Amino acid sequence: MALFILAVGLTVLIGAFLIPEGGGFQTVGPRPFPILVGAAGTLIGAIGVVQAFLGPRLGAVLGSRPGRSAGAGEPAERAEHTEQAPAAPARWRPTLILLGALVTYTLLMPFVGYWQVTTVFYAASARIQGSRNLRRDVLIGLALALATYFVFDRLFGINLPPGYLRLAF
């Protein structure tokens, strides 16, 4: 996964430098934001790759957890070589359901509308991940969807699909 994030970050970064600089009266062209996103993705991916390759060795070099010493009746050798808990098994079912929800979200957005589908997607995503408070999830989803809609559609002028229920303001 870290290699994938690194590859995506590098791709975005390379693509950002291929964007032509804006001319005319623009002081800042379209390049800076993709460069920032690409650099962040590349950095996060590189850190993940380093952790993936050095993780087990780094733990062995640093020894056991800091501040841990041999307890009463525990030999000193045992305190130095503590076993780590096994990693939790992957939860594939919620991941695949979320992937299906994301595909459905993408397909429905142009027809139903951004803020409507985003509200439902947020509530469904929270539910898939274990939340049991539907009212709270819908209200948070609605607040985030409307805030995002107003920022992008009304302030930045980036038209998001309004859907069947157009906002009066």
Q: Is 9:41 a contact under the CB 8 Å cutoff? A: yes
Assess if residue 164 is contained within a domain. Answer: no
Q: How many CB atoms lie within 10 A of CB 12?
A: 18
**Residue range(s) defining the domain that contains residue 110:** 92-155
What confidence tier does 46 reach under pLDDT thresholds 50, 70, 90? very high
Q: Is the model's pLDDT at 58 over the cut of 70?
A: no
**What's the chain's average pLDDT?**
81
- Structural domains counted in the chain: 2
pLDDT in tens, 78-133: 545 556 667 667 778 888 999 999 999 999 998 899 999 999 999 999 999 999 99
In a domain, 86, yes or no: no
- Do 35 and 55 lie in one domain? The reply is yes
Domain match, 35 and 71 both: yes
Same domain as 96, residue 75: no
Cα radius of gyration (the chain): 24
In a domain, 50, yes or no: yes
Contact 127, 137 (CB under 8 A): yes
Residue 87, in any domain of the structure: no
What does the angle CA 28 – CA 34 – CA 38 come to, to the nearest 5 degrees? 140
Residue 169 belongs to some domain of the structure = no
